[in-house]
Amino acid sequence: MKLLLIEDHQDIAGVIFDFFEIKGYTLDYANNGQHGYDLASTNHYDLIILDVMLPRMNGFTVCQKLREQGIDTPILMLTARDTREDTLEGFAQGADDYLVKPFDLEILEARIKSLTRRRIGNSATKTLNFGDLELDLNSHIVTRNDCQFSLNPTLFTILKLMMLRAPNIVTKEEVISALWGDDEPEGNVLRSHIYQLRTQIDKPFKYSYIKTVPKVGYQLIREKTE
């Protein structure tokens, strides 16, 4: 099972990581709301553990923005404040469950198992569509007309982010954050990945979709190829 933990308290994050990794879970981690949102909107997770009080974007906003994008990954919110208002606000923004700090790790695991069990059997294969592009979120296969291309994790993340935002622009900073967080590699590596993506889904066809917006970022829009 793959979890995303969005929690700015390093000690709490460390304890959660130690407990779940020993049990065979895979975890990604973000220590602020913006990075957490970028990861959650561009990668597949079985469940998101989301703290309420976060720098750069609070947990309520992260949850709201993910739900507005149609991302229905189960979200379990954590809070240090045991108040009725916080609980109601979390559910209002689309959270599936709520746990107050300090909490028992075995209770947290039981809640996670309960939420993910509810989802098993109900979830059909999820896809994103733009024009004649179809992206399978489970297999990472993109289909255009009768052609299929299997995307590596980096190209899948880029295309998923653009398809979720299409036809709006995705900034370079957003793509970089989704791929590498604060550890962007040296050199213009992103440009190489965009070129690889274009080679697969644009070059063989009459119309191209990926447009570079100079000094801003990228977007999906239908343009006739030369």
Per residue in 170-207, pLDDT (tens digit) is: 899 888 888 887 777 777 888 899 999 999 899 888 88
Domains 2-119 and 127-224 are alike in CATH topology = no
149 closest CA partner among 134, 165, 162:
134
CATH class of domain segment(s) 2-119: alpha beta
Instruction: Locate the DSSP E strands across the chain.
Output: 2-6, 26-30, 47-51, 75-79, 97-100, 127-130, 133-136, 141-144, 147-150, 170-171, 207-213, 217-224
- The hierarchical CATH code for the domain 127-224 is 1.10.10.10
pTM reported for the whole predicted model: 0.59
Query: Phi/psi of residue 141, each to 5°?
Result: -100, 130
Per-domain boundaries in the chain: 2-119, 127-224
Burial of 159 (0-12, 13-18, 19+ CB in 10 A): buried
Report, as ranges of residue numbers, the positions in the chain whose pLDDT lies below 70. Answer: 82-83, 118-125, 223-226
- Tell me the three state secondary structure of residue 183: coil
Distance CA 34, CA 30 (A): 8
For the record, the structure tokens of 31 come out as 């220590």
pLDDT at 83: 67
pLDDT at 82: 67
Q: Which residue has the tokens 């209770």?
A: 107
